[in-house]
Every structure is written in structure tokens, then in C-alpha cells.
């Protein structure tokens, strides 16, 4: 593993733990982040620019906020296409528009870079534990070669189709997660209004057909009104914009998804954008006239 150099661009809530797990797995890891303090996770392996980080890398992982950020990191003068060595594998773990994923992969491929779009699910804890679910778009041969790197940061790793497919599956993932958070928030608010023992209710609900990961991972903190971000409302709002646009382009109806996207937007407008996406609970409370003082 030490013979493989992995550059990680973006060392935030998700990218930082992923880089740390790559180090633990024995890879030679170099990182870059716009906020220099984040480099501390890699000790002396921090780079001063994207160009410096990627120039000798065998594999490059990007984990940045949005489509324009990926375009800049991939195609800018200081970016991957202009500075990485020919034959390097670029894995974009960001969540972006599927059409952008296809376009940047083609542009990078023209420069000799082999590309995978590989967005992740599992939140901050999944990144820390190295148990992320990773949906990958791209060529099977490149996927197979990159698999040891992906294995260091994820548990469920599936090639779902050609370039752009990973981002399409991630959009579907974010649709399901947002809708489930909203329904769990509504259910908890309903239970509290009837003064039910919510801890007991969560236990029995989680054991039946209503069981889901949101109940398992988020319900207890939602009851406590603890919304330290593992994944911010601001970012999920961005992701809902991706699914709305992609659904419109494909001509498919997502009526509940569209409504949930609006609720996510309302939460942002109320000033909850920096909270965890389970902070939709606060919006449900306000709509019910039960906001805590």
C-alpha cells in the first residue's frame, strides 16, 4: 500500500476521516484543503495547492461541496487535468449533478486521467468508521484497480453503471434520506404531542416495518434537539436541487420529493442551514405551533 500515493482534496467532515482511514490502511497520503488547519490530520503530508497534491499521485480523491468546486478542482489551471500524471485514477466522492460528472470526466479523460464518480453515503460517522456506502460510475477495469483504495474508506462499494451513474444513484439516496428524515421528525413531533415515552416508541418502531437508519442513527438526538452537523441542511438543500433538476430532465414525477425539497429550503430560510439535516425537526415543530422556547 505504501507504494500507492493517494491525494485527497477536501479534508472536511467527510474528506478528513476518509484521509485518516487511508493513512491507517498504509497508503502514502497527501492532502490539500482550502482551510490550512485541516491539513494537520496528515501531519507533514499537506500540500500547498491542488497541483502540488496531485502531481505524483497514483489515485486522487476529491470531496468538495458542489458542482462548480469539482469543475474548478478538475479543470482549473491549478487542477487535476492540468497537473496529474497520465494514467492516474481520479475518484470524485463529492455529490454533484450527474451531467457535470459526465462532462468533467470526459475532459479529464482527454488529458489521460482515468475517472470514477463515487459519491458516498453514511454521514460523518460512516466516514470515521470506514463503513461508507459508495456508489460508483465508470469503467469496470478502473473500478477494479481502484477497489483497494475504496475498501479503505467504505464497506458497501458497488459499480452502478457508466460515468455519471454514481451521481444519479446518490441523488436517489438523498431523496430517500430527506423524505425519511421529514417523516421521522413528523412522527416524533406527533408522539411528543401525546406525551408518549419517545425512547420506548423509537425502540418498538425501529423493530418493525417502520424501522430505518434515520430512526437508528438520528432519532435519539432529534428528541434531545441536538443537531451538531454530520451533514448540514445547506448541503442537503443543494442535493435536493440536483434531484429536482434531474427528475425534470428525465420527465419523472417526484411529488413527495419536491415537497420535501421545499421544506428543506424553508429550514434554510429560518436560519437552520448550518445544522444537521435532522434539524428539519425544528421546522416541523414550528409548523405545529410547538416550537420549544
Give the tens place of pLDDT for each residue, 218-252. Answer: 999 999 999 999 899 999 999 999 999 999 999 99
Active-site hit among 170, 224, 238, 293: 170
89, 58 Cβ separation under 8 angstroms: yes
pTM metric for this prediction: 0.91
Q: How confident is the prediction for the chain on average, in pLDDT?
A: 94
What is the per-residue pLDDT across 127-181, written as a single tens digit (0 to 9) for each? Answer: 999 999 999 999 999 999 999 999 999 999 999 999 999 999 999 999 999 999 9
Buried b (16+ CB within 10 A) or exposed e, 224-248: eeebebbbbbbbbbbbbbbbbebbe
Q: Is 170 a catalytic residue?
A: yes
What is the per-residue pLDDT across 39-87, written as a single tens digit (0 to 9) for each? Answer: 555 555 667 899 999 999 999 999 999 999 999 999 999 999 999 999 9
Amino acid at each position: 500500500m505504501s507504494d500507492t500515493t493517494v491525494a485527497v482534496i477536501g479534508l472536511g467532515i467527510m474528506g478528513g476521516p476518509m484521509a485518516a482511514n487511508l493513512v491507517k490502511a498504509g497508503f502514502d497520503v497527501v492532502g490539500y484543503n482550502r482551510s490550512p488547519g485541516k491539513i494537520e490530520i496528515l501531519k507533514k503530508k499537506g500540500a500547498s495547492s491542488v497541483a502540488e497534491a496531485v502531481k505524483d499521485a497514483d489515485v486522487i480523491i476529491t470531496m468538495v461541496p458542489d458542482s462548480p468546486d469539482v469543475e474548478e478542482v478538475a479543470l482549473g489551471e491549478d487542477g487535476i487535468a492540468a497537473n496529474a500524471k497520465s494514467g492516474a485514477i481520479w475518484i470524485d466522492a463529492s455529490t454533484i449533478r450527474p451531467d457535470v460528472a459526465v462532462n468533467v470526466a470526459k475532459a479529464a479523460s482527454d488529458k489521460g486521467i482515468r475517472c470514477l464518480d463515487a459519491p458516498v453515503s453514511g454521514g460523518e460517522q460512516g466516514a470515521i468508521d470506514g463503513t461508507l456506502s459508495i456508489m460508483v460510475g465508470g469503467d469496470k477495469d478502473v473500478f477494479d484497480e481502484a477497489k483497494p483504495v475504496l475498501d479503505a474508506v467504505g464497506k458497501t462499494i458497488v459499480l452502478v453503471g457508466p460515468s455519471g451513474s454514481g451521481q444519479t444513484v446518490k441523488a436517489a439516496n438523498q431523496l430517500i434520506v430527506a423524505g425519511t428524515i421529514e417523516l421521522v421528525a413528523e412522527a416524533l413531533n406527533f408522539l411528543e404531542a401525546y406525551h408518549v415515552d419517545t425512547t420506548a416508541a423509537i425502540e418498538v418502531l425501529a423493530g418493525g416495518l417502520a424501522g430505518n437508519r434515520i430512526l437508528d442513527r438520528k432519532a435519539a438526538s432529534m428528541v434531545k434537539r441536538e443537531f451538531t452537523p454530520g451533514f448540514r441542511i445547506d448541503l442537503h438543500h443543494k442535493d435536493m436541487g440536483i434531484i429536482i433538476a434531474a427528475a425534470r430532465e428525465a420527465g419523472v414525477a417526484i411529488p413527495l420529493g419536491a415537497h420535501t425539497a421545499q421544506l428543506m429550503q424553508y429550514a434554510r430560510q429560518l436560519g437552520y442551514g448550518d445544522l444537521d439535516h435532522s434539524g428539519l425537526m425544528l421546522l416541523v415543530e414550528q409548523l405545529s405551533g410547538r416550537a420549544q422556547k
